[in-house]
Amino acid sequence: MSRSALLLLLSLPLSGVAHALPLTVATSPRIASAVAGADDPVRRGWLTGKVSDAAGKPVEGVTVALKGTSFGTSTAADGNFRLSAQAGSYELVVTSIGYVAQEVPVTVTGGESTPVPAFTLAASNQNLSEVTVTGAKSLNQRTVSVGKLPVATLDLPQSAVTVEREVLEQQQVLRLSDALVNVSGLYVTSTTGGTQEELGSRGFAYGSNNTFKNGVRFNNGVMPEASSLERMEVLKGSAAILYGNVAAGGVLNLVTKKPQFEKGGSVGLRVGSFGLWKPIVDVYGAVGNSEKVAFRLNGTYETANSFRDGVESNRVYVNPSLLFELTPKTTLILEGDYLRDNRTPDYGIGSIDYQIQESRTRFLNVPGADNATNQTSATATLSSRLNDAWQIRAVGAFQRYDNELRSATRPVGVITPGPTYGNLVRGLQRTETAENYYLAQLDLTGTFRTGFLGHTLLVGADADQYQSSTIGYTNPASASRPTTAVSTYDIISLLDPNKSIEQPVERLSSFNELVRNSLTKGNTRRAGFYVQDLLSVSDKVKVLAGVRWSYQETPSDVFNYNTIANINNRTANTYVVNRRFDNAFSPRLGVVYQPIKTSSVFASYSNSFTPNTGVDLEGKTLAPSLIDQYEVGIKNDLFKGALSANVTAYRIVNSNQAQGILPTDPRFATAATASPQELAGQVTSKGVEVDVQSKPMMGWTLITGYSYNHTAYTKSNIYEDGSRLRYNPAHTANFSLFYNFSHSFDNTFLRGLTAGVTSYYVGDKLAGRNSRFLNPATGKPWVDASGNPSADVNKFISIPNYTLFDASLGYTFERFSVRVKLANILDELSYNLHDDNSVNPIAPRNFSATANYRF
């Protein structure tokens, strides 16, 4: 079939008539540049040349860059340079301190190496300003790869924020939570056990389904490595049309550093408070002298103690990648990822009757507690441009996740009045988890016209499989009483660490005494097909419409072992098989109006789904809960794109949330199951988000934002209407301001100096457990043992508001740089909580410094 015939067929489903209309490439400048511009991994070419001084000697370290782009390099010791860029016409700028800058027009041809006439630098009598090559795109001009459509975010009826590598390095981001200060409405919900950072947005938690690396889901049960990141992308709101079963709050995509043909790299060392020691290496370049294969290898080792007594960690991370330019229009990127993370599980300072104990440092776990995780992944991404209008992208990925946890049980003190009040009975827990994840994904994108309509079309399909195996351990049988389990390691006091407490006669002494209790196997299989089209009705009006169909199988096999009476007798074991089959449609519709080229107003509707685990009155599995999301906003690029300012308002409604049918309901008596459920509850989330980012201008860089969110039960049979959901702060605010002194001080000791401040506010946040106005076991109001009215034992914990304030200084001299950071200068105290049993204080005032050498 000819290429023109293929394009004709592709147009037929969209034309809406019996014959095909003429096809031409879309004329929207932003869309066209996004498809064939600097973000495109294919159509690459090279410029080569040499730079000498007036005496004919080669000059090393000269900056060679393409004006107005992020493409640049520097000359080697022999004065030669080789610059890789996307095909197109540019102005090549050659600059070096002490020499007159030169600028010449050049053309980069895809798949070819083009020589540039030799440059002879002339000495300058003026003090030249150093040229720093930075990205020319504003927040609203960038594309987000997690959005799959090759269009600027200004054209999307959805809020999206990207945080670039320069910002991450400037702020010395160590953990993902450090980078959240650049995105409004994205926050840490909890840090259960101190081994992970659980995130949320718009009232919904980001699980592993909502967290991606290079567009592929990854298990966020371990803290990802931030030093490898090229940028962080946040697509707010529903992304179900693109990824299926994702929570309604948004998705987070971590983009790692990619191979480059220009040789270079860096080595660095970060040190800090609490014994932090972190060497970092990043090396990249062409493989040999190849113009077709490039590599990158970045990695780090980290070891640290903690402000928490007895807590320590160490981790190793390696991220190798290869880029193959198979043809001038086709590239293949192979990426690997290995992380070994060992740390002390730490459930914090404990609570008594939902009251947090006043201690920042006391450690409540037992000796030998350990959380050991190994995570390995491999991703292959094949991108090919069929012609100037159409591109195809295929992704295959595999991830392995292994975790072994040995820990005391979570610390909750005895609340019964008397001599045992405040005592913590410590038990032991042990689990072993292994997970395999497989993904295949195929996307076809294209730009064309049918009559007066311009199209940016995405057609795709994906399939993934998630296999898990979890071994659980439980307490052994008593030697003196074979039908009784030994469950206590020891007893301590949360109120008085020096209190002497009588210990049980028979106690657990080590994790090895625990016996295997259960084996749970899961094998989730998912598939989806989706189509999405950005219609350019005119230069000012665009419509985004699409739909996805998702299918999901969730088998779960559970083997239970009676560890007291029949530890080794498998014939007495019970075997439970669960099978679920779900499918759902996820539509999306949005309208964008652009009164001027630098502003847009949008409104959108999208739909997502959440599978349920319960069964209905007839014993049949519940259908997925469908969640409706409405969003309106305005995006502005001000001062010729120097400043982007966006405001978004949203409303998310889960109007068919699963909830239990109460015993007082007449239907309960005829139910085919003991715990029937129905889709009758409702949760509503509403809020406003503001995001402001600037390009570097006159030495200044600004990022600021604000968010308001209220997520509550608006229809429930056990929770009061208006009862807020936990973990979601009502208000957050962020502010980051940096200044580069090189802009104003060309020839003083201040040249190369940067200084900045970062601030992050979290307010009005709840943990603990939602109080219920009816007892779900009886369906009636709560009563005490005497039958008198009483309150639910569940209570909220109000988390103190806090403001983090950090200050940074950096200094660069030639290839060397040093950055120092003082974090939480105000020494604020607050907590990240899960329920009432993982109460983890935030870090106190601390210091870090990073030294780096570029080559």
Q: What pLDDT, in 10s, does the model give residues 431-488?
A: 999 999 999 999 999 999 999 999 999 999 999 999 999 999 989 888 887 778 899 9
In this structure, are residues 51 and 62 in contact, taking their beta carbons and an 8 Å threshold?
yes
- What's the count of helices (H) and strands (E) in the chain, helices before strands? 5, 48
Q: Is 482 left (phi over 0), alpha (psi -120 to 50) or beta?
A: alpha
Query: What's the pLDDT score for residue 747?
Result: 64
Tally the residues of the chain.
855
Chain mean position to CA 12:
38
Query: What's the pLDDT score for residue 802?
Result: 97
Side-chain-side CA neighbours of 600 within 13 Å: the count stands at 27
Query: What's the pLDDT score for residue 262?
Result: 85
Q: Which residues contact 423 (CB under 8 A, 6 or more apart)?
A: 413, 414, 491, 492, 493, 494, 501
In this structure, are residues 553 and 522 in contact, taking their beta carbons and an 8 Å threshold?
no
Side-chain-side CA neighbours of 823 within 13 Å: the count stands at 20
Q: Distance (Å, rounded) from C-alpha 846 to C-alpha 307?
A: 9
Collapsing DSSP to helix, strand or coil, 169 comes out as: helix
Backbone φ and ψ for 831, nearest 5 degrees, come out as -145, 155
- Of 549, 584, 399, 585, whose CA–CA distance to 460 is shortest? 549
Query: What's the pLDDT score for residue 574?
Result: 55
Q: What is the 3-state secondary structure (H, E, C) of 54-81?
A: CCCCECCCCEEEECCCCCEEECCCCCEE
Q: Is 185 left (phi over 0), alpha (psi -120 to 50) or beta?
A: left
> What pTM value is reported for the model?
0.85
Collapsing DSSP to helix, strand or coil, 145 comes out as: helix
Kindly give the parts of the chain with pLDDT less than 50: 1-42, 126-135, 565-566, 568-572
Q: Distance (Å, rounded) from C-alpha 445 to C-alpha 438?
A: 23
Q: Distance (Å, rounded) from C-alpha 456 to C-alpha 36?
A: 13
Q: Which residue has the tokens 């560890």?
A: 563
Q: Distance (Å, rounded) from C-alpha 439 to C-alpha 381?
A: 12
What are 228's two structure tokens? 């490898």
In one-letter notation, the amino acid at residue 488 is: T
Q: Which residue has the tokens 């019970």?
A: 574
In this structure, are residues 57 and 88 in contact, taking their beta carbons and an 8 Å threshold?
no
What is the Cα Rg of the chain in Å? 29
CB count, 10 Å around CB of 367? 7
What are 171's two structure tokens? 């702020």
Q: Distance (Å, rounded) from C-alpha 539 to C-alpha 483?
A: 78
Q: Distance (Å, rounded) from C-alpha 559 to C-alpha 470?
A: 10
In this structure, are residues 400 and 377 in contact, taking their beta carbons and an 8 Å threshold?
yes
Q: Distance (Å, rounded) from C-alpha 687 to C-alpha 601?
A: 17
Query: What's the pLDDT score for residue 584?
Result: 92
Burial 496-534 (b: 16+ CB within 10 A, else e): eeeeeeeeeeeebeebeebbbbbbbebebbbbbebbbbb
Q: What pLDDT, in 10s, does the model give residues 358-398?
A: 889 999 999 999 999 999 999 999 999 999 899 999 999 99
Write the DSSP symbol of residue 370: E
Backbone φ and ψ for 571, nearest 5 degrees, come out as -70, -20
- Of 313, 257, 312, whose CA–CA distance to 281 is shortest? 257
Q: Distance (Å, rounded) from C-alpha 450 to C-alpha 832?
A: 53
In this structure, are residues 399 and 467 in contact, taking their beta carbons and an 8 Å threshold?
no
Whole-number Cα distances in Å, 705 to 176, 187, 256, 674: 18, 13, 25, 48
- Of 236, 161, 164, whose CA–CA distance to 204 is shortest? 236
Query: What's the pLDDT score for residue 5?
Result: 41
- DSSP per position, 824-838: -TT----EEEETTTE
Write the DSSP symbol of residue 329: T
Q: What is the 3-state secondary structure (H, E, C) of 763-790?
A: ECEEEECCCCCCECCCCECCECCCCCEC
Q: Distance (Å, rounded) from C-alpha 75 to C-alpha 49?
A: 9
- DSSP per position, 210-274: GEEETTEE--TTSPPPSTTEEEEEEEES--HHHHSS--TTEEEEEEEP--BSS-EEEEEEEEETT
Q: Which residues contact 379 (CB under 8 A, 6 or more apart)?
A: 214, 216, 333, 334, 335, 336, 337, 395, 396, 397
CB count, 10 Å around CB of 649? 16
Q: Distance (Å, rounded) from C-alpha 841 to C-alpha 199?
A: 16
What are 851's two structure tokens? 């030294």
Q: What is the 3-state secondary structure (H, E, C) of 576-623?
A: EEECCEEEEEEEEEEEEECCCCCEEEEEEEEEEEECCCCECCCCCECC
